[in-house]
Chain A
Amino acid sequence: MNCIIIDDEEMARAIIQQLCSQVDQLKVLEEFSNAIQAIKFLNSTTVDLIFLDIHMPDFTGFDFIQTLKNPPKIILTTSDKNFALEAFEYECIVDYLVKPITLPRFLKAIQKAESTPDINPQDQSESETTGISSGENDLYINIDRRLIKIDIPTILVIEAKGDYILLKTEKQNYTVHSTLKKIEEKLPDDLFLKVHRSYVINTKKIIDIEDNSVLIKKDVIPVSRSKRPELMKRLNLL
């Protein structure tokens, strides 16, 4: 497996290099002291695995993951156990190593990475089935003065929250200063439907429907009586 190391601490990079040197199937292509340099590198090079520190100044590990359209497998390295829950919201994260990292724990993480199937090919085919041509799949949202790219077909539901909207995707949730009306205009009509004054849903993500609600992932979304006929029209009913 080709890998890269991203960590602002020289000490941490040296340790991961040393651990990698003890595993035959790992080849370290490059190491980076900040995530921006790594993004540039990844624009031209494909890697199988990234060792990524979460706690870096300016641009955290999670910020970095959000910039990647098709992230490779990632092993997080951190001195903080508190991010574990957040980490497992990302499909690409295969393990979470707490520093100082020991060799047995490192080897276990590598085994996990090897046994985890690649997620990217599946992601691509899912995008193709939506019928949206490449280039129209992206939506950029503004969070803390950063523009974060969202793959539109991965959006599950958008909920109005006062002056904000809560945008839930397969990987993560985002709170954005915007309105449902504004975001609705940016989304393809054939995928998204406003089913309630506070909710826009991705109709392809519906798991089941009851009288006045739909289930999307684990969320039960209310459906207004006036919106129900339009919703039913969209479904391929037997």
Chain B
Amino acid sequence: MPETPNMNYINELSAGSEEFKQKIITIMKKEFPEEKKEFLTNYNNQVFLKTAENVHKLKHKIGMLGLENGYRVAIDFEDELKQHNSQLFQEFMLILNSIENFLKTI
């Protein structure tokens, strides 16, 4: 069964602070679509190193949303892109899409 994003890490970190939780959600909703868009632009233009940098940034959010397997895929994909290889693209896109859907629900 594929893993799904969750708020466990953010809830734990918030230590009951609703203000902090909302702040993180707001930043996440603002930054994630921008970072995904930039990632796709660089990927489509085959600018591998820039794409690797985009994956690096997205990796933090993937980890924050509890996607442990997704985090490992992101590490491998980032390394792969630095070698001008992009075999994990489809798998990485599935992770991004699941985050995108999750962000609509919170």
Contact = CB atoms under 8 A, between A and B. Distances in A.
B18 interface: no
Contacts of B27: 10-11, 14
Interface of B: 9, 12-15, 17, 20, 23-24, 27-28, 31, 53, 56-57, 59-61, 63-64
A11 B28 contact: yes
B57 A100 contact: no
Given A9-B60, A12-B60, 4 more contacts: A10-B31, A11-B64, A14-B20, A57-B53
Looking at chain B's contact residues, the main secondary structure is helix
Contact of A79 (B12, B23, B24, B56): B56
12 contacts: A9-B60, A10-B27, A11-B27, A11-B61, A14-B27, A15-B24, A19-B13, A79-B57, A79-B59, A100-B60, A100-B64, A103-B13
A99 B27 CA distance: 16
Interface of A: 9-12, 14-15, 18-19, 22, 55, 57, 79-80, 99-100, 102-103
Given A18-B20, A79-B60, A79-B63, A11 B13 contact: no
Contact of B63 (A9, A19, A100): A100
B53 to A, nearest CB: 8
Contacts of B15: 18, 22
A100 to B, nearest CB: 4
B9 A100 contact: yes
A18 B31 contact: no
Of A14, A18, A80, A102, which is in contact with the most chain B CB atoms at under 10 Å from its CB?
Answer: A18
A103 B53 CA distance: 26
4 tightest Cβ-Cβ pairs between the two chains A and B: A100-B63, A100-B64, A99-B60, A11-B27
Contacts of A79: 56-57, 59-60, 63
